[in-house]
Amino acid sequence: MAKLTKKKLLEHLAKSDKEDIIREVTTLFDKFKNVKEFYAAELSDDENPLLEKYKKKITYAYSAENPKERRTNLNVNKLINEFKKVSIYDRELAYLMVHRVECGIEAIKRNNNRTPTFYNCIVNTFEEALSLISTGDYSGEFEQRIHSVIKAAKPAKFETQARMKELAKKV
């Protein structure tokens, strides 16, 4: 089977009539959760309800009294990857990633006895969020949150705050 390219898809859609395209989109909507979530967010009049749903899940993952770090990191990574599949806006993805960093810093404040892996996940997510923010030119919108996160990271070990400051300089 030949690889499907965007060009081939566009050719297929150009040949199809409106009813066929509606039928295909409806089939995708019924069959795939990602498509349903995408359209739920796209057709909503409010802020993306999906963003709020994923923010709550991330908050919950980090709110456990003494969470298993590996499971928490895997779970939150999975949530962010799921969100990437249904969101087309980098701004929203950056928002969710900064939220993860904020929740991770709060978890560190409650219990600073964490592994380097935990801290690295927070810093790596921060770096990825900064990249999205920089690429999309959302610096002004996120500036206050970035400074707040860096300031809040003071009690963190493994030079987390210094690493975050260095990364933020690039934005």
**Residue pLDDT, tens place only, 29-72:** 888 887 887 777 677 666 778 899 999 999 999 987 766 788 88
More confident residue, 35 or 1: 35
Distances (CA, A) of 47 to 29, 54, 69, 136: 21, 13, 31, 19
Query: What does pLDDT average to over the chain?
Result: 88
The answer to whether the CB of 129 falls within 8 A of the CB of 167 is no
* Residues 156-164: contacts with CB under 8 Å, at least 24 apart: 156/105, 156/108, 156/112, 156/119, 156/122, 157/112, 157/114, 157/119, 158/116, 158/119, 158/120, 160/108, 160/119, 160/122, 160/123, 163/123, 164/123, 164/126
Place 123 in a pLDDT band, splitting at 50, 70 and 90: very high
Residue 14's pLDDT band (cuts 50, 70, 90): confident
CB 149 within 8 A of CB 117: no
pLDDT in tens, 130-165: 999 999 889 999 999 999 999 999 999 999 999 999
Distances 28 to 61, 84, 119, 140, 149 between C-alpha atoms, Å:
30, 18, 39, 37, 39
How many alpha carbons lie under 13 Å from residue 54 in its C-beta half-sphere?
29
Which amino acid is residue 4, in one-letter code? L
Position 4 scores a pLDDT of 79
Percent over 90 (pLDDT), the chain = 53
1 pLDDT more than 70: no
H-only helix segments in the chain: 6-15, 18-31, 33-42, 49-63, 69-86, 90-110, 116-135, 139-152, 160-169
For residue 45, the model assigns a pLDDT of 64
- Phi, psi angles (nearest 5°) of residue 47: -55, 160
pTM attached to this predicted model:
0.79
| CB 158 within 8 Å of CB 121 | no
The answer to whether the beta carbons of residues 169 and 127 sit under 8 Å apart is no
